[in-house]
Amino acid sequence: MPVSLKVTVLIPLRDNDGEPFDLATWSWWNDRLTELVSGFTDVGVVTGWWRGYSDQNRSLVIIVKTLREVDAIRRLLREARVRFRQEAMYLEYHRVSFEEVR
């Protein structure tokens, strides 16, 4: 079984003032993400706590093969941090054994 990297990112549904993001921001995100990866799983909406503040986020799981791809996702999140008006964006990755069972 080949070893891959499982990447999890959290994308906020609202800015820190509670305002939802507009369609242009979401379109930008979806376009940029699909330029980088061939597929991902939108796990759904999750609630998180950060420094006494509760928010809701889209949780996305992406399987990639190289750290270079993780670096590309990291660069995208740096851009997203500005567009989504966040202090920081969540990025988690670790090695996994991945198999497409046919």
Each residue of 11-55: pLDDT tens digit?
Answer: 999 988 889 999 999 999 999 999 999 999 999 999 988 788 888
Q: What's the one-letter identity of residue 86?
A: Q
Contacts of 52 (CB under 8 A, 6+ apart): none
Contacts of 35 (CB under 8 A, 6+ apart): none
**What are 52's two structure tokens?**
């006494």
pLDDT at 11: 97
Cα separation of 47 and 80, whole Å? 19
Spatial contact of 67 and 94, defined as CB atoms under 8 Å apart? no
DSSP 19: P
Which residues, other chains included, contact 32 with Cβ-Cβ below 8 Å and sequence gap of 6+?
A: 76, 79, 80
pTM check: above 0.75: yes
Contacting residues for 50 by C-beta, under 8 A, at least 6 apart = none
For each of the domains in the chain, give its residue range(s) and CATH number, in order of start.
3-97 (3.30.70.120)
What pLDDT digit, counting tens, does each position of 84-98 carry?
999 899 999 999 998
